Amino acid sequence: MSGSGFSRRLIALTRKEARQMLRDRSNLIVGLLLPLVLILLFGYGLSFDVKDARVTVVMEDSSPTARNIVAGLQGSPYLAPSWTMSMAEAERMIRAGESDAILRVPPDFSRRLASGNARLQLLLNGVDSNTASVIEGYVGGAIALPMQQLADRTGDNPTETGSVVIVQRMWFNEAGESTWYLVPGLIVLVMTLIGAFLTSLLVAREWERGTLESLFVTPVRPLELVLAKLAPYVLIGGIDLIMCLLAAKYLFQVPMRGSLWVIVVSSLLYLMVSLALGLFISAATRNQFAASQVALLTSFMPAMMLSGFVFDLRNMPVLIQVISQILPATHFMGLIKTLFMAGDYWPDILRNCAILVLYTVVLIGLARRSLRKKLD
Amino acid sequence: MSGPDVAVSAEDLRRTFEGPDGRIIAVDGISMTARANELTAIVGPDGAGKTTLMRMMAGLLKPDAGSLHVLGIDVAADPQSVQNRISYMPQRFGLYEDLSVQENLDLYADLHGVPQEDRKERFKRMLEMTDMARFTDRPAGKLSGGMKQKLGLACTLVRSPDLLLLDEPSVGVDPLSRRDLWKIVQQLIQQERLGVIVSTAYMDEAERCAQVFVMNKGKLLAEGAPDVLKRRAEGLTFTAMPCEGMPARALQARLIDAPDLVIDAVPAGGSVRFIRQPDAEQGRLDALLDNAPVEPRAEELEDAFMMFLRTEEGRAETTTAPRKEPETPVADTVTDDGKPVIVVRDLVRKFGDFTAVASTSFDVARGEIFGLLGPNGAGKTTTFRMLCGLLPATSGHLEVAGLNLRHARAEARGRIGYVSQKFALYGDLSVRENLEFFGGAYGLRGKALRERVSASLEQFSLDPAARSGILPAGYKQRLAMATGLLHRPEILFLDEPTSGIDPLARRAFWRTITALAGSGVTIIVTTHFMEEAEYCDRIAIQDAGEVLALGTPRQVREQAGDAGIDMNSAFIAIVEQGRTARERKDRAA
């Protein structure tokens, strides 16, 4: 009796939740359309790569040697140099936001080059420090090559003062493409979003509309309520996951070096954590507005800022690092990025999945507790 | 105390809540026994503790102290066993508004484990009883208020319980739906020998029950069969006929202002029903009645109930009902030129294809109390909003205080006061701050504002420092009235001002209204309480957007013919006549 009662009630409740979800169009907009928008926005719109950086070159020395040195700037796809003779003009441009950097070739450049202590001045617009340091790297790279060639031609040994040459290689993300690490992170954001925006409203809505009171005085058990509420949203999350994976592979050509099934299983685990957290917040606040605010502040915003999605956690103060370690999103963020770009690394996979399973069990337990059939 | 014949037994039951302003004692030492297979009523004013008591019986709240057995089971120890055997309908039944009628029924049948083979027959019967077989595919959210309540009852009764708990099933429901609900409950009691406990604020409902418990402020005031309880008012109940040309409410006002002689007085059927104080001097009473002919009448449960409450309140000044002569606030601009202050001609309002108000015409004279009555969804609120200038009319002519609402809406609004159903007050502000805010919104400032606010505080006996959000309903209602009257409007609009307010506060409210009308303020009011129509000079009954009856309460009762013995029956008869006529017309067309 009790066994069949459980499944009968669970089916009835799940059917009810699914119908409610499908009939409220805003659910589908937030659950399916918003993730699609996020994918396109983050994939195409947000990028830390700098292309066509505007560098103003001030040629105070117009000797062929000097021209030769800065000519390298023109060949780079990342730089869009412009030329001027006046430093004042260049300064005006950078102030007016027409230029991102000034490369100044001083009048005594050729003369000092001959004596081996030539100097170029690079002024960067530090308003956006991230872009500034990227441009610094580009300009340095663009000038290094002609300098090398010049040295070869004149026979001078450029490594006279130090004999170490550094050969750089970036591993896992060879081209340093930011979409490669943003797109896997998007899976974390999208899974978080469903919990924060959809399941966080479910129980609170029933409190506000008074439907829970009627439901409580039936043979229904709290666990049945929790599971029935999760089920339809696991489906939505699954569809979103497929969208993310397809976009990663075909739109953004992000490598998937880990096994697909590990990516899927760990993503679904994190989805469960996110949904259960939303449900618990909803049951604890009993108010839709409060629930969505709390969910936004405790899950979506931290997942965006403190999980290592964009900002490197190691640069943050210790307290923030501790908080970030409490967030389930941080553990999944590390795991999914590794899975996409580095491949299966089992100790990491097992540890993080174990953490996610623990969170799921604890949060479902809490949600169930806060749905005990009591009105006070 | 428990056995097969006992449905509920409580022993010194207590329950308190932590409120924002300290402890609230909701149920304060109640001991009671309700018999099985019987209809038991719990009556009491708003805030008496009825809902808390019902929720404890349903196992949704744990008692702080005392014992409570339902069907012989200790509810606090094993709520689930009780819940498996009872059905409970909360005050606001939780229908899933985006699910259809059938889907709601299926859900509750599944949850209760009603076997498939029993379902067909049960659903058929429930849909027939509630007259909803035609609407099974309609989403519950698209039903009218009365229909929702009936569907809630049907969902509660998808299986036959051992005990049915109904928490104020008829609150906010129009008289027609109320009658239908009771028909269903009574059929079930007869056919299934069902035990029912119902809480209600309507005395005519309590009168149908075998046993009545009267509650007030968490305590049990009295218990017994209605016939036994009634006897308390024996020999004290009378009807007085006002002299020719005198409105019944004027006589009623005089009687209710003499609490040492009269316990209670209400206008009814053109005369005044009153209860005299047992120790009232005959001479003084005669002087008060001033030769109005008086006849004794049979006592009713309502009379006894009012006596219980008055005794409890000590007939003195209380927080809920100040029974002192209300000072009459005088509108600034009242000048009687004999012209009607509100003129409505062929007013129509459509929402898409749906006609909410169809070709309505009426006038309201200055100083009149005009009542707008109708079942849920009749178009009252729409008409009301158009009169206040909150909603533009689709077509027709609308004049308020001599101003055409099409052109001078803002100006017209300055001349009217509006008290909405939900009492639009800022809960976090104090009483004084609310008054100052609304005064400021109407353009009062400086000394004028301060004077009006202190006058209002005194007139409505308000405590300026109290926080508005935690006031009792009757108090809030007084504050809402005070804010609506601050700018001394010529016309006051009141949208269901008395729903959710206890009978004593309602008496006090109407006393203020009649005094206002006496000073020349025109009053437009909507209400669900049909007996309150008797306070009005004229009433209009609306259904499906059309005015079915318009006139004085007496004329409306006469229009209803034999059915018009009281306002409630007259209302039901007129609305039903209107509906049959419309159906005939639809069929012809």
pTM of the model: 0.80
Burial B571-587 (b: 16+ CB within 10 A, else e): bbbbbebbeeeeeeeee
Q: How confident is the model at residue B315 (pLDDT cuts 50, 70, 90)?
A: very low
Lowest mean pLDDT among A16-25, A303-312, B110-119: A303-312
DSSP output for B444-461? --HHHHHHHHHHHHHHTT
* Per-residue pLDDT tens digits for A38-81: 888 888 877 667 778 888 889 888 888 888 888 878 877 788 88
* Per-residue pLDDT tens digits for A192-244: 998 888 999 999 999 988 899 989 988 899 999 999 999 999 999 999 999 99
What is the separation of C-alpha B564 from the centre of its chain, rounded to a whole number of angstroms?
A: 21
Strand extents, DSSP E, A12-109: 53-59, 79-84, 101-105
Lowest mean pLDDT among A146-160, A326-340, B84-98: A146-160
Cβ <8 Å between A24 and B156? no
Sign of dihedral through CA atoms B528, B531, B532, B533? positive
Say what the pLDDT of residue B325 is: 45
Q: How confident is the model at residue B20 (pLDDT cuts 50, 70, 90)?
A: low
CB atoms under 10 Å from CB of B410, counted, come to 8
Rounded to a whole number of angstroms, the distance from the CA of B460 to the nearest CA of chain A is: 33
Is residue B37 classed as helix, strand or coil in its secondary structure?
coil
What are the φ/ψ torsions at residue A40 (nearest 5 degrees)?
-70, -40
User: What tokens appear for B45 in the block?
Assistant: 């004013």
Say what the pLDDT of residue A114 is: 78
Q: Which residue has the higher pLDDT, B312 or B88?
A: B88
Which letter does DSSP use for residue B566 in this model?
A: S
Say what the pLDDT of residue A174 is: 66
Say what the pLDDT of residue A22 is: 92
* Per-residue pLDDT tens digits for B171-217: 777 888 888 889 888 888 888 888 899 998 888 889 999 999 999 88
Res B588 pLDDT > 90: no
Res B344 pLDDT > 50: yes
What is d(CA B127, CA B155) in angstroms, rounded to the nearest whole number? 10
Please choose, from the candidates B532, B534, B538, the residue with its C-alpha nearest in 3D space to the C-alpha of residue B551: B538
Which letter does DSSP use for residue B89 in this model?
A: E
Q: Are A300 and A327 in contact (CB under 8 A)?
A: no
Which of B87, B88, B110 is facing A9, going by the closest CB pair? B110
Segment holding A16, helix H or strand E = helix A2-23
The torsion of the CA quartet B94, B95, B97, B102, rounded to 10 degrees, works out to 170
Cβ <8 Å between B96 and A373? no
Res B326 pLDDT > 50: no
User: What tokens appear for B294 in the block?
Assistant: 């008086």
Is residue B301 classed as helix, strand or coil in its secondary structure?
helix
Lowest mean pLDDT among A137-151, B99-113, B247-261: A137-151
Burial B152-181 (b: 16+ CB within 10 A, else e): bbbbbbbbebbbbbbbbbbbbbbbbbbebb
Residue of B52, B96, B106, B163 for testing the chain A interface, max A β-carbons within 10 Å: B96
Crossing angle for the helix pair A260-285 and A346-370, to the nearest 10 degrees: 20
Which of A15, A217, A219 is facing B88, going by the closest CB pair? A217
What is d(CA A38, CA A29) in angstroms, rounded to the nearest whole number? 12
Sign of dihedral through CA atoms B357, B360, B366, B371? negative
Domains of chain B, CATH where assigned: 6-229 (3.40.50.300), 230-313 (3.30.70.100), 342-588 (3.40.50.300)
Lowest mean pLDDT among A187-201, A236-250, B314-328: B314-328
Q: How confident is the model at residue A157 (pLDDT cuts 50, 70, 90)?
A: low
Report the amino acid identity of residue B199.
S
- CA-nearest residue of chain B to A23? B98
Burial B555-567 (b: 16+ CB within 10 A, else e): ebbebbeebbebb
User: What tokens appear for A292 in the block?
Assistant: 């969505």
Average pLDDT of span B464-472 = 81
Q: Are B55 and B214 in contact (CB under 8 A)?
A: no
* Per-residue pLDDT tens digits for B92-130: 777 999 999 999 999 999 999 999 999 999 999 889 888
Q: Which residue has the higher pLDDT, B535 or A173?
A: B535
Please choose, from the candidates B304, B227, B325, B324, the residue with its C-alpha nearest in 3D space to the C-alpha of residue B503: B304
Q: How confident is the model at residue A176 (pLDDT cuts 50, 70, 90)?
A: low
- CA-nearest residue of chain A to B18? A376
Rounded to a whole number of angstroms, the distance from the CA of A360 to the nearest CA of chain B is: 26
Cα-based distances in Å from A147 to A97, A104, A162: 30, 16, 16
Segment holding A140, helix H or strand E = helix A129-154
Res B565 pLDDT > 80: no
Say what the pLDDT of residue A110 is: 84
Q: Identify all chain A residues contacting B98, using CB atoms and an 8 Å cutoff.
A: 19-20, 23-24
Q: Identify all chain B residues contacting A218, using CB atoms and an 8 Å cutoff.
A: 83, 108, 111-112
* Per-residue pLDDT tens digits for B501-521: 778 888 888 988 988 888 889
What is d(CA A345, CA A278) in angstroms, rounded to the nearest whole number? 30
Say what the pLDDT of residue B569 is: 87
